[in-house]
Amino acid sequence: MIVPALARHEPAFREIVDLIQSARARALQTVNTALIDLYWQVGKYISRKVESAAWGKAVIQQLADYLEQNEPDLRGFSASNLWRMRQFFSTYRDSAILAPLVRELPWSHNLSIMSRCKRAEEREFYLRLCVRERWGKRELERQLAGALFERAVFSPPKVSALLRELHPAAGSVFKDTYLLDFLNLPELHSEADLQRRLVSNLKKFLLELGRDFCFVGEHYQLQVGGKDFYLDLLLYHRGLQCLVDFELKIDEFKPEYLGKLEFYLEAVDRDVKKPHERPSIGVLLCASKDNEVVEYALSRSVSPALIAEYQTCLPAKKLLQQKLHEFYELAQPNPEKRLGKKMKKP
């Protein structure tokens, strides 16, 4: 608590605190970058020795033993970790795009992405999101287990034409499906249950939404024509610089839900939005949706809105990965590769 005599100095004191915290963050990032560079160089050296057939498993083990005996203060240079450094270098050596990204993340993040992601585009997807959202190790593991990449490939967000026009970046901000496994909701639950659990798990909910989302209020009151209306959840997105109204539905999307959302957005823009803010966005978060019904409903929508669904348990990742493999096979231009075998000549 600041004593009254020093209260007038508190803003200046906070500036000093901000300077200290910023310097610490930069120092930690510098240390991390240097460590990743070290692992890269070690991996590069080992890779060259292995490729020239000068070193094998036995030599790598001897190197690990040598480091342990002669440099006891060094940590993280076991034989298995040395092989990981070689794999790390081999994985990103030819990628001018990804090589700089890996230096922005801790070694544990890089190991998770490298071991769990098989394709370059999948690794890039998680690397960029980790850097942008500043995910901790636990959140990264959760998103990997939740097959976020597969879901993003198969199900881009369903948005109205006006939303794409007013907020071109919205496609990279919102998701088609939100994973709310942290709510521990029973199979049968009410909208009030869903709203209450989201608010009580607000930090996790904001992590699932994305880093730039800020909570404004729940049951946010609007007055129109002498009547009271209440928004389920009102948030603000710093990057898009607009308010975002989340309306919760525990059943399948129905077209009539969109009309009510558009009414709320009109009221928010007239009575809540500040002059410097951009037009508000509405999100209908439903338990399920028929994509064709969603497409029809959004085709003539006059508001910046989107329809998404929520899941309360992890998806069947193996099934999604199988579908993704089929997707890539079909995307290959060579019909022989699409069949996965050489076509027989007549």
- Domain 151-318 CATH class label: alpha beta
**Cβ-contact 303, 159 below 8 angstroms:** no
Q: 167-181, 231-245, 273-287, 326-340 — which is least confidently predicted?
A: 326-340
**Cβ-contact 298, 321 below 8 angstroms:** no
**pLDDT at 339 (0 to 100):** 42
Residue 25 has pLDDT above 90, yes or no: no
Q: Which long-range contacts (CB under 8 A, 24 or more apart) does 126-130 make?
A: 127/98, 127/101, 127/102, 128/101, 130/105
Bridge partners of 248? 285
Bridge partners of 285? 248, 308
- Domain locations along the chain: 11-147, 151-318
Give 346's pLDDT tier (boundaries 50, 70, 90): very low
Three-class SS state of 306: strand
Residue 80 has pLDDT above 80, yes or no: yes
Tell me the per-residue pLDDT of 228-263, one tens digit each, with 9 for 90 and over.
999 999 999 999 999 999 999 999 999 999 999 999
Distances from the Cα of 202 to the Cαs of 56, 178, 180, 206, 209, in angstroms? 51, 14, 11, 6, 10
**pLDDT at 342 (0 to 100):** 44
**pLDDT at 334 (0 to 100):** 58
Residue 341 has pLDDT above 70, yes or no: no
Three-class SS state of 291: helix
Taking residues 267-286, what's their average pLDDT? 96
Q: Which residue intervals of 272-345 are DSSP H helices?
A: 291-299, 317-331, 335-339
**Cβ-contact 288, 254 below 8 angstroms:** no
Using the structure block, give the residue that is written with the tokens 């605190």: 17
Residue 343 has pLDDT above 80, yes or no: no
Q: Is 226 left (phi over 0), alpha (psi -120 to 50) or beta?
A: left
